[in-house]
Amino acid sequence: MKKIKLRPRRGLATTIKQNFHFWDYYLMVPYLILCLIGIVMVYSSSAAIQMQNGGTPQGYLLKQSIYVILGIAVLIFCANYPLERYRRPRFLEYSTIIMGILLMVVLVLGKAVNGAKGWLNLGPINIQPVEFCKLYFILYLADRMARARQKGEHFLLSKKSHGSMLLAAFYLFLIFIQPDTGGFAINFSIIMVMVLACDIRWGKAITAVIVFPLGLYFGLQLAIINGWLHGGYRIQRFIAFMNPFGNASGSGSQLVNSYYAISNGGIFGVGLGNSVQKMGYLPEPNTDFIMAITSEELGLVGVTIILVLLLVLICRMIQLGVKSASLYQALICYGSATFFTIETFFNIGGVLGLLPITGVTFPFISYGGSSMLVLSATVGIIINISIRQNKAQLQVGEPFLPTD
């Protein structure tokens, strides 16, 4: 009887050890530096407010440090978890169900913050479902598009794609009516870029890309006009964006004080911990407007360093996507790059008054557990793709097999 040689099953610790030499430092180094800067700036921007409210100045420092540690653990896990398992039907089905439940439950039981009912209170922690939705869309749509390519079909022209796009539209609608305009815009951008990056016929693709967003946009506007949605808070933010100094004592106060902070900072800043605007003048100094405080304390030089680090991450994601022989991996890279780019653009645009304030946090710098975990998981998956590419180039270790 012929003996069958069984291949020993490797544990996660063994996989991490074997993959260590293939880790992508163009991703890991900027990630770690940004996390450290985030911890410092969260502490600097929140300590004064904490003491004014009778809390300990180290409150947010401790929480953000825990989030970063958990984020690093999530990154290491995602970087070494077999990439093929993210595509398992059961994993995607459960993710779809859980995502849908969270987005619907938050509308009923969610905690309202700054006019958006987007937070779920789970005892000692609060989670923001829309943050997890960003990574869900990237993984789910990358798999569906890659499977369509395997069958020689174009994604938007495939009958099976209709269900995926209707599901995406439904989830976007649930995000919009929270109302979370920033979360809606980021998720919508991720979907559109991934659709464009998919290999489809450009004539019909352009038609689909125009008709889908226009139909969704006019449908949502109709809901606002008829009073089906609560748009009052968003209207006030738009008024503040158009004329902040004319509403300086009301809805424009955030933007006006953001301008003061940026002006005070100049090129080199007033020094770490010396911000004036964080002393009760600028709301949300450790979340939405943390970059205004960063600009005031570290100046243009400090903000530029942060933006360059993010640019390195984003460019590396795009480069890995271009190099990839797998459509699935390429789409994950492009979707993730879009996620990071749009989130950065929306936050900076709101702080500078170039865009209406949408409540979007700044990647890695703003305080928040949900954001940190999702950003870390996303970087971890991109590192996973990079490890596979590095192994393929060196032709060592296990053979490289494209996942689509």
In a domain, 314, yes or no: yes
Q: Which pTM does this prediction carry?
A: 0.85
Q: In which band, very low, low, confident or very high, does the pLDDT at 116 lie, cut at 50, 70 and 90?
A: low
Q: Which of the two residues, 96 and 157, has the higher pLDDT score?
A: 96
- CA–CA dist 15, 289 (Å, integer): 40
Tell me how far apart the 2 most distant CA atoms of the chain are, in Å: 88
CB 296 within 8 A of CB 261: yes
In a domain, 95, yes or no: yes
Using the Cα atoms of residue 215, residue 348, residue 288 and residue 232 in order, give the sign of their dihedral.
negative
- CA–CA dist 118, 133 (Å, integer): 12
What is the pLDDT at residue 143?
93
In a domain, 206, yes or no: yes
CA 372 to chain centre: 9
Q: What is the mean pLDDT of residues 89-113?
A: 88
Residue 172 has pLDDT above 90, yes or no: yes
CA-nearest of 137, 149, 145 to 189 is 137
Tell me which residue range forms the domain holding 299.
40-394
In a domain, 363, yes or no: yes
In a domain, 119, yes or no: yes
CA-nearest of 67, 130, 132, 45 to 364 is 67
CB 95 within 8 A of CB 136: yes
What is the pLDDT at residue 401?
47
Q: What is the mean pLDDT of residues 32-49?
A: 92
Q: What percent of the chain has pLDDT over 70?
A: 78
Q: What angle do CA 288, 63, 234 make, to 5 degrees?
A: 20
Tens of pLDDT, residue by residue over 66-82, are 999 999 999 999 999 99
In a domain, 13, yes or no: no
| Domains of the chain: total | 1
In a domain, 300, yes or no: yes
In a domain, 367, yes or no: yes
Residue written as tokens 């869309």?
137
CA 347 to chain centre: 12
Tens of pLDDT, residue by residue over 303-326, are 999 999 999 999 999 999 988 888
What is the pLDDT at residue 357?
74
In the structure encoding, which two tokens stand for residue 60, read together? 């947010």
Residue 229 has pLDDT above 50, yes or no: no
Q: What is the dihedral of CA 380, 385, 388, 393, to 10 degrees?
A: -120
